[in-house]
């Protein structure tokens, strides 16, 4: 398989399409991007890992990581190997010390696990040719009218009134809000607060 390494560029969401999230992957040595539509739970699982947040209780993907490590199973790589009717197919390349196996998984779950295991993500040139687009997401190009996507820290998101309000709070207030959001498991809000804190650091 002609492997092309991918990096996680970030997650964006739309105010005009409720519940719609796009995970954006970028080829390591190129300008092409692969946007993948994912669900809210998966977007949250990826976002909190990108932001380095620690939930009070392990989420599903954290549990998978702890379970695997406890039994000596390593995730060596994630491979996005097929694109069919707009659906990306992935598999996990695992090793338990005695043999290597491949397990089918949803691409969103695969990426969430790759971030936790700190393992590489690969795809094929065929998929890049079919789904790849040249998109400068940091500057908000190619977005629908009415959307403004920016990149703050690691995760791009749509500017809204709540994000604007965070700019007027001091650091103590932001840290209190961040702790409250994590305790309430509102990781989307926690991610925004974390971004604002990082901007001032």
pTM of the model: 0.69
Q: What is the pLDDT of residues 29-46, one digit of tens each?
A: 888 899 888 888 888 889
**pLDDT > 90 fraction of the chain, expressed in percent and rounded:** 37
Q: Is the pLDDT of residue 159 over 60?
A: no
DSSP secondary structure of 59-75: -HHHHHHHHHHHTT-EE
Q: Mean pLDDT for the chain? A: 80
Q: Is the pLDDT of residue 60 over 50?
A: yes
Mean local confidence (pLDDT), 71-75: 96
Q: Which long-range contacts (CB under 8 A, 24 or more apart) does 52-59 make?
A: 52/194, 53/182, 53/187, 53/190, 53/191, 53/194, 54/182, 55/182, 55/185, 55/187, 56/182, 56/183, 56/185, 57/185
How many angstroms separate the Cα of 99 from the Cα of each of 44, 104, 137? 32, 17, 40
Domains of the chain: 3-200 (3.10.690.10)
| pLDDT score at 18 | 59
Q: Is the pLDDT of residue 166 over 60?
A: yes
């Amino acid at each position: 398989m002609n492997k092309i390494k991918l990096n996680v560029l970030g997650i964006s969401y739309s105010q005009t399409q409720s519940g719609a999230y796009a995970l954006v992957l970028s080829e390591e040595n190129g300008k092409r991007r692969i946007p993948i539509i994912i669900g809210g739970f998966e977007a949250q699982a990826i976002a909190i890992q990108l932001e380095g947040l620690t939930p009070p209780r392990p989420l599903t993907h954290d549990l998978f990581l702890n379970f695997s490590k406890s039994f000596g199973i390593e995730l060596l790589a994630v491979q996005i190997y097929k694109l069919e009717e707009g659906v990306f197919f992935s598999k996990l390349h695992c090793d338990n010390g005695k043999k290597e196996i491949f397990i089918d998984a949803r691409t969103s779950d695969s990426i969430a696990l790759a971030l936790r295991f700190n393992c590489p993500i690969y795809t094929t040139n065929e998929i890049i040719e079919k789904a790849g687009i040249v998109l400068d997401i940091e500057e908000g190009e190619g977005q629908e009218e009415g959307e403004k996507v920016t990149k703050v820290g690691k995760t791009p998101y749509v500017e809204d009134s709540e994000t604007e309000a965070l700019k007027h709070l001091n650091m103590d207030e932001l840290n209190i809000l961040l702790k409250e959001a994590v305790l309430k498991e509102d990781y989307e809000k926690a991610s925004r607060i974390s971004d604002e804190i990082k901007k001032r650091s």
